[in-house]
Structure 1
């Protein structure tokens, strides 16, 4: 079942996916009071239809939904070129590190634990929207064979286009700013999670592991991230200058 939220002055449409109607109503009110337009779905399949129909600016989905889980929604949307760059926030009443890591690795851009403070929730929504709207088509060449496209969270390595999560993109950009040098673990964690860095300490290792796999591809020698005492170091072997991906 799907209901249309009220239109507000803001241009951004937030898709709310929440099977608890009380929670859905509360979230809808919070976002509309912050001048967002909203669209509400109460199950995963309805949400997927909404997303393909209206192409929302951002999606907020409960992780445990009937018909299709929040993580499965992430997976399917990331596989579709027309929806793969829509920011997604997953919400859950479970605060375990494992649950957060699985959500972020599965394609979510952020993870919010219930109950949440309305002011923090709105701030996170606005931050994600800023990141998705800024730097359209901006490209940055970093080293001889690595380039990043900010608005799409894409890296081009040795001619191969790599689709990255927001956290992977930020980490790679920082690591490439001082190739071969150690980037402190604490610095990377703060870059990704700000004041909540301590809560996400274990997730930085998983993020580096996933990024390492994407850089290596089928060739372990293609480039990799080394974990060293106190932090991480990016090693990029010399190669030809890559083709640069244009924003789409």
Structure 2
């Protein structure tokens, strides 16, 4: 956790700046919109992991934004946290019924806000399907600890290494395009991350190679992407 993009929709510039700084300090990437329609456009363009949403932004209510996100197949699983100064039970229930994952009362404590963001992201990750079709019997990932057991080796991975390896493992034996791996780690932010991706792959290969006589378990395919090499008979992933 910490590579995710958070979309903030908040009318008050000081409030938006404060939330932005809190989340960036916690190693999240952020994007800010000051009204509902702009926020919806940003969400469709950037596909954030989670939306921090004021209950009454200009142009579109928070409940309407929640409803739109939950009925769109592209955003229905996206995390949503509503921030509201109206803290009555009716308002909280209305926000949750509209599709919010959590409701934070204003004013809020910075540590609590970040903790709630992380909690919602953990729930989303835990609920995500982890299909094992095509996985290898010699690979076991311990998702809660970012620990991998691979062909007799056990290694602790960074967040980026973990995300790369889970993508490659789900397509074991097949090439995963560089663009897909970059998007999984950094989103569509328009920046070049090729060197960082190559360094992460190099680090992963160093941790997973073990006694493979210099052969790397992750192979680079020039002009295309990377592939986790299969080992007979097949591959299985469990968390």
Query: Which band: TM-score by shorter chain?
Result: 0.5 to 0.7
Partner of 1:30: 22
Partner of 1:64: 56
Specify every segment of 5 or more residues in structure 1 that has no aligned partner in the other structure, as ranges: 1-8, 140-248
Specify every segment of 5 or more residues in structure 2 that has no aligned partner in the other structure, as ranges: 132-239
Q: How far 1:136 sits from its partner (Å)?
A: 2.8
Partner of 1:43: 35
Partner of 1:130: 122
Q: How far 1:137 sits from its partner (Å)?
A: 1.5
SS of equivalent to 1:101: helix
Count of equivalent residues: 131
Partner of 1:20: 12
Q: Deviations over 1:168-197 (max 9, x none)?
A: xxxxxxxxxxxxxxxxxxxxxxxxxxxxxx
SS of equivalent to 2:93: helix
Whole-Å Cα distance in 2 between the matches of residues 57 and 124 of structure 1? 14
After TM superposition, list the pairs within 5 Å mapping 1:198-237 onto structure 2. none
CA RMSD of aligned residues (A): 1.5
Q: How far 1:135 sits from its partner (Å)?
A: 4.5
Runs of 4+ in 1 over 2 A off after TM superposition: none
State the TM-score, normalizing by the size of structure 2.
0.53
Whole-Å Cα distance in 2 between the matches of residues 135 and 44 of structure 1? 28
Q: Deviations over 1:4-27 (max 9, x none)?
A: xxxxx9310000000000100000
SS of equivalent to 1:134: helix
Larger Rg: 2
Whole-Å Cα distance in 1 between the matches of residues 49 and 121 of structure 2? 7
Whole-Å Cα distance in 2 between the matches of residues 136 and 65 of structure 1? 30
State the TM-score, normalizing by the size of structure 1.
0.51
Whole-Å Cα distance in 1 between the matches of residues 3 and 19 of structure 2? 18
